[in-house]
Structure 1
């Protein structure tokens, strides 16, 4: 894949993902302003992830059958329609519809783009490089979307956060997906790989019968759970240590910056490090950081741990994506990506509830140690990862 085309694809993902990120900020603020409760807002935010759980597998199969551009075009329509509906009808039910549409569109776009980029790479080193660059897009989008939305809500109306300001915000969010299509429509699409003649119809769940795919999915789940437990438990731990909210936010921000920074550096070392070595190193570092975290009292030392953890976990996704494309059949890349996305999103919904229950029983420090111990045990599964030559 040419550098200019990869840059356009990254820009396309940033634009569509920014729509969801911006709507995830704007719609709760409008709902609260209209008098809805915090519980209602919680349901609204959950809807952004709900469609990604249920649509991931169908979206993956659709991408396998129809390639790159048709799924992207439908996602663009869904995302623009979602923001546009709230622009015209700024009511809570329509915000819920917009959350479902923009969330589902983002998940389908991620699958289509990852499949396209993976199929455009010519070797394992290029796979690691392109997925390292592509992994930067969500981080950029999660900054651009809320930043633009917040700026418009505060300054685009006759007064801060009036209805005109929200309408202008929703109009801009509806325009972002159109820019996505303009950037990506000229991308060269490799020929689709048809299933072998006479092949028995397959199901996505059949992929789980492949030992290496199961192992990779398990390892990815471990890393994703580590990411979730850090985001969920760190604020509680910081509060117990008497650390202010702004400092806790800065610690989490340092984690996000480190995770994005390592993805910028990964393409430079892609030819020197194997996927397994990067994932194994990340697993061991994550287990060590989780063992140390509850023993810390200083915001500075917690911030240092947060940065180290950001480097470790940020390096994993590009390596997982590279391996996934090498160990699954070309004609089923979309299904594999959909199964992975469904697993990760379902875990992100369930894990915070589980962490909260464990924390109530054994304390917040115990959550870190339990998760760290599970991650350490998972190093054995990581060691077994390999790509057939």
Structure 2
């Protein structure tokens, strides 16, 4: 049964993420065809993240009450509705509204899947289950853009802009194919996590969640790592322009980084059992710091090694910080805690890239990547004083008593 829900969740995560990143790519072409400028494209990108600032924690509470699979299904339907809105109506204002709807749908999917993993792995080490979810999501991020852009290009006139209608239809298909997984995941959730509704009937506030000892540390580390992914996508092209590296090579490098991240999440449980969650997170972030520090100084072939380091440094911490959040909170508030994690991540994604870019831009690409490395060094400092596996510590103290 464990294998069954893991496989079902993985397929759902691959399809949902393929749809999500496919939309993120194709909507830019849609906006350009509507006459959008660079400023509008920036606003459009932000509109995807904004729903999480207000809806992440409430969606986590709902996941605690009704179950992660329910929230995931609602999220998939919401994302489909937003995509269909773009297909049915034209105009830049429609794109903004539809992207916010799709962003809300993606938020519900992510929180729902994470809450499901937290509930069904309660009492066991959640690192492996979160590693499976993160690896599947990364696989979807690898599949989505080429699948959607290829389909859109095949439907376009020779040498013309991609057919965004076909691209959006592919995204809708991915989301629709992900929806039936709800049935098995719901049955599994009901069997393993029975009684959750009664346990979470009292409203859970942000203050209640933040009372968990050390939770703020996990949120800071998580946000720093996730922002690094965004900064990398934003500024690697700047490095490439300075080094005269082609766009095709940049795509291959970023694909290599994503593939290494997928591979790094396989077998995490054995590594965590051997070295500990804290050692694994610090070691991986250290690899990312070194890679960011070196990147501005190397050319194409040196960047291959850098992307391997970034793949490890950005791939390992994300599932482990999710497991860390879960280990700090009660079962009845896992969804709320993961929703709060999502809120902090989105806030960091909106604010920190602007701050890093503004402060480091006068120095050039060197300053940007070194500022990002300094941000991760700060995350390591925050992590140094943390207990990343309080349950294991409690069991150890109990055995010594």
TM-score, normalised via structure 2 length: 0.87
C-alpha distance in structure 2 between counterparts of 1:77 and 1:37, whole Å:
30
- Of 166, 179, 182 in structure 1, the residue corresponding to residue 180 of structure 2 is 182
C-alpha distance in structure 1 between counterparts of 2:48 and 2:341, whole Å:
18
C-alpha distance in structure 1 between counterparts of 2:153 and 2:246, whole Å:
26
Number of positions where the alignment pairs a residue of Structure 1 with one of Structure 2:
385
- Structure 1 SS opposite 2:245: coil
CA RMSD of aligned residues (A): 2.6
Per the TM alignment, residue 132 of structure 1 is displaced from its structure 2 partner at its CA by: 0.7
C-alpha distance in structure 2 between counterparts of 1:159 and 1:241, whole Å:
31
CA contact 2:128–2:269 (8 Å) conserved in 1: yes
Report the equivalent of 1:107.
Answer: 107
Per the TM alignment, residue 265 of structure 1 is displaced from its structure 2 partner at its CA by: 4.1
Report the equivalent of 2:136.
Answer: 137
Per the TM alignment, residue 206 of structure 1 is displaced from its structure 2 partner at its CA by: 3.2
CA pair 272-350 structure 1, distance change in 2 beyond 3 A: same
- Alignment of 1:172 onto 2:157: no
C-alpha distance in structure 1 between counterparts of 2:182 and 2:159, whole Å:
35
Report the equivalent of 2:397.
Answer: none
- Structure 1 SS opposite 2:214: helix
Per the TM alignment, residue 59 of structure 1 is displaced from its structure 2 partner at its CA by: 0.9
- 1:312-332 CA-to-partner distances (Å, cap 9, x unmatched) read 220011111112111111111
C-alpha distance in structure 1 between counterparts of 2:138 and 2:64, whole Å:
26
- Structure 1 SS opposite 2:45: helix
Per the TM alignment, residue 372 of structure 1 is displaced from its structure 2 partner at its CA by: 2.5
* Unaligned residue ranges in structure 2 (runs of 5+): 395-401
C-alpha distance in structure 2 between counterparts of 1:219 and 1:288, whole Å:
17
- Alignment of 1:314 onto 2:312: no
- Stretch of structure 1 that moved more, 30-39 or 272-281: 30-39
- Structure 1 SS opposite 2:52: helix
CA contact 1:19–1:102 (8 Å) conserved in 2: no
- 1:123-153 CA-to-partner distances (Å, cap 9, x unmatched) read 443x111111100222222233222321222
CA pair 192-141 structure 1, distance change in 2 beyond 3 A: farther
- Alignment of 1:217 onto 2:219: yes
Report the equivalent of 2:353.
Answer: 352
Per the TM alignment, residue 12 of structure 1 is displaced from its structure 2 partner at its CA by: 1.4
Report the equivalent of 1:118.
Answer: 118
User: What aligned pairs does 1:353-372 form with structure 2 within 5 A after superposition?
Assistant: 353-372=354-373
- 1:4-38 CA-to-partner distances (Å, cap 9, x unmatched) read 21111121122223222222222221221233323
- Alignment of 1:331 onto 2:336: no
- Stretch of structure 1 that moved more, 234-243 or 274-283: 234-243
- 1:319-346 CA-to-partner distances (Å, cap 9, x unmatched) read 1111211111111111111111111112
Per the TM alignment, residue 192 of structure 1 is displaced from its structure 2 partner at its CA by: 4.1
CA pair 307-158 structure 1, distance change in 2 beyond 3 A: closer
Per the TM alignment, residue 67 of structure 1 is displaced from its structure 2 partner at its CA by: 1.4
Report the equivalent of 1:193.
Answer: 196
CA contact 2:72–2:110 (8 Å) conserved in 1: no
User: What aligned pairs does 1:1-389 form with structure 2 within 5 A after superposition?
Assistant: 2-125=2-125, 127-156=126-155, 165-187=163-185, 188-189=188-189, 190-193=193-196, 201-267=203-269, 269-294=271-296, 296-386=297-387, 387-388=390-391, 389=394
CA pair 57-37 structure 1, distance change in 2 beyond 3 A: same
C-alpha distance in structure 1 between counterparts of 2:374 and 2:334, whole Å:
32
Per the TM alignment, residue 50 of structure 1 is displaced from its structure 2 partner at its CA by: 2.0
CA contact 2:16–2:178 (8 Å) conserved in 1: yes
C-alpha distance in structure 1 between counterparts of 2:160 and 2:207, whole Å:
47
CA pair 159-362 structure 1, distance change in 2 beyond 3 A: closer
Per the TM alignment, residue 195 of structure 1 is displaced from its structure 2 partner at its CA by: 6.7
CA contact 2:204–2:333 (8 Å) conserved in 1: no
CA contact 2:142–2:255 (8 Å) conserved in 1: no
- Structure 2 SS opposite 1:211: coil
- Structure 1 SS opposite 2:196: coil
C-alpha distance in structure 1 between counterparts of 2:5 and 2:199, whole Å:
30
- 1:223-282 CA-to-partner distances (Å, cap 9, x unmatched) read 223333333333323322333333333333322221122113425534323211111112
CA contact 2:282–2:383 (8 Å) conserved in 1: yes
